[in-house]
Amino acid sequence: MRRILWFRRDLRVKDNPLLSFGGEVLPIFIFDVNILKDLHKDDRRVTFIFHYVFKLKIDLQSIGLNLKIFYGTPEAVFEQLSGFDEVVASGDYDSYAKNRDLLISHKLHFKYLHDTYIFKPKEVLKDNGSPYFVFTPFYKKARVALITKDLKEKEVTGNILIKSDYEGITKIDTDISKLPLNIESIGFKTQNLHIINPQQKLEIFKKNISKYSEMRDFLDIDICSHLSVDLRFGTISIREVLREVLKLDSVSEPFVRQLIFRDFYAYSLFHTPHIESKNYKYSFNGIEDEQKFIAFCSAKTGVPIVDAGVRELLQTGNMHNRVRMVVASFFTKDLLLPWQWGERFFAKHLLDYDMASNVLSWQWSAGTGVDPQPYFRVFNPYLQSKKFDKEAAYIKKYISCLCRVEAKNIHNEEYLLCANIKGYPKPIIIHKEASKRAVELFKNL
């Protein structure tokens, strides 16, 4: 059988079911112009992806295979590929991915693999066969199912590489042309990223995992795994991560819970696809205010923990998970802006952007999603920064003009409303008044 092995969110050789079939194969990767056309030319994710696509090509060569790299739309690429029995790829759950795969399946038999998440979307269901929409019961059932889950490493079998031209990048447009194998060929600029091998990240994290539950929310202590971007692009398999952390017994449970939470969000998007852009519950959808949005996006809200988080995102493509929750709560409750605006802003800048996790997290903060944070619980950004960044080290790292301001004042809204700090604005809202307004709006729906 002649197969196309379509690498997408699985940019690795190790523990990849895509390589476990055997037979004649054509491994491919497509730089999809439908996605790339909307990205800025210095988008960090393209640098990250290009790095691992290049590494994947080398790793495949080490086992007698290769990677044919395309630049174009998937539809145009598959128009040029003939004489194959099927295409094999790991499935994805967002609307674009599902529509794309449906279109390709009309051209060639499409074999879906389960690889990106722990469970298949219909694997963890209620006894009546319906999906869960509250995390805790989902987690309990998933945790039991995980005990007998097959997490064995997927072995590479004897694949025979189909003869083709594997040099450079094959551009499919009105005609076919050959481009040099570099990021500039697809219209992007290489960004300065500190890329660490995911196995190395995992080994470091395993040494600190006993402190994960207690200290993961503190902003001046780096206790996180930093594997979210690797799981997003499949540079390490979810099975490998689970195999390693489950060896550590009970100390790994808080982290395992977070991995199952990641599954829950993808599962929720699969079963309720409309929540990609619409509320799951409540009709209130925020109040559009361009001035507030501009202040937020430019990190000029006058609320230090929020502005520091936005600056971290703009400068690095990352944002600490605790800060993400504080920022999203401030955006949707204090500023009362539509969660969709915040989701798109994060989607534009997050290195580890995953649609399911991002959409569901924003809806959780807005109180409109499946298993949401109750609308009457609103994060107080000043109490949050005081608790998790007591000395304001995180805030001062990203807001230099606050370096000479005492930490206790950085966490004090009344001080910030009255003080004149050179280079830093006063808060654009009063938290107590804004949160009260948000709760009243939801209460009266």
Instruction: Kindly list the domain boundaries of the chain, sorted by start residue.
Output: 2-116+163-179, 290-443
Q: Considering the entire predicted model, what is its pTM?
A: 0.95
Confidence at residue 372, expressed as pLDDT on a 0 to 100 scale: 75
What residues contact residue 378 under an 8 Å CB cut-off, 6+ apart? 329, 333, 334, 435, 438, 439
Round to whole Å and give the CA distance between 233 and 50: 11
For position 319, what pLDDT does the model report? 97
Instruction: Tell how strand 23-32 and strand 68-72 pair up.
Output: parallel
Q: Under the phi-then-psi rule, with left for phi > 0, alpha for psi from -120 to 50, and beta for the rest, what region is 367?
A: left
Which pLDDT belongs to residue 168?
A: 98
Q: Which residue has the tokens 């805030």?
A: 395
pLDDT digits (tens, 9 = 90+) for 137-190: 999 999 999 999 999 999 999 899 999 999 999 999 988 999 999 999 999 999
Q: What is the pLDDT of residues 227-245, one digit of tens each?
A: 999 999 999 999 999 999 9
Whether residue 44 contacts residue 193, with contact meaning beta carbons closer than 8 Å, is answered with yes
Which residue, chain included where needed, has tokens 């879906």?
112
**CA-to-CA separations, 96 to 232, 264, 288, in angstroms, rounded:** 16, 20, 26
The continuous run of DSSP H or E covering 376 comes out as none
Place of tokens 């523990």: 15
Q: Which CATH superfamily is domain 290-443 in?
A: DNA Cyclobutane Dipyrimidine Photolyase, subunit A, domain 3 (1.10.579.10)
What pLDDT score was predicted for residue 374? 81
Confidence of residue 424 (pLDDT cuts 50, 70, 90): very high
Q: What is the DSSP string of 280-343?
A: SS-S------HHHHHHHHTT-SS-HHHHHHHHHHHHHS---HHHHHHHHHIIIIIS---HHHHH
pLDDT tops 80 at residue 333: yes
pLDDT of residue 373: 76
pLDDT at 375 over 90: no
Instruction: Please give the Cα distance from 312 to 327 (Å, whole number).
Output: 12
Q: Which CATH architecture has domain 2-116+163-179?
A: 3-Layer(aba) Sandwich (3.40)
Dist CA 271 CA 130 (whole Å): 9
Which pLDDT score, from 0 to 100, does residue 387 have?
97
Q: What is the mean pLDDT of residues 46-61?
A: 98
Averaged confidence pLDDT in the chain? 95
Residue 303 makes CB contacts below 8 A (sequence gap 6+) with 330, 334, 381, 382, 416, 427, 428, 431
Calculate helix-pair angle for 238-246, 198-208, nearest 10 degrees.
Answer: 30
According to the model, what pLDDT value does residue 216 have? 94
pLDDT of residue 35: 96
Q: How far apart are CA 137 and CA 124, in angstroms?
A: 10
Chain position carrying tokens 């009260």: 436
26 and 20 in contact (C-beta within 8 Å)? no
Residue 421 has pLDDT above 80, yes or no: yes
At residue 59 the predicted structure's pLDDT band, cuts being 50, 70 and 90, is very high
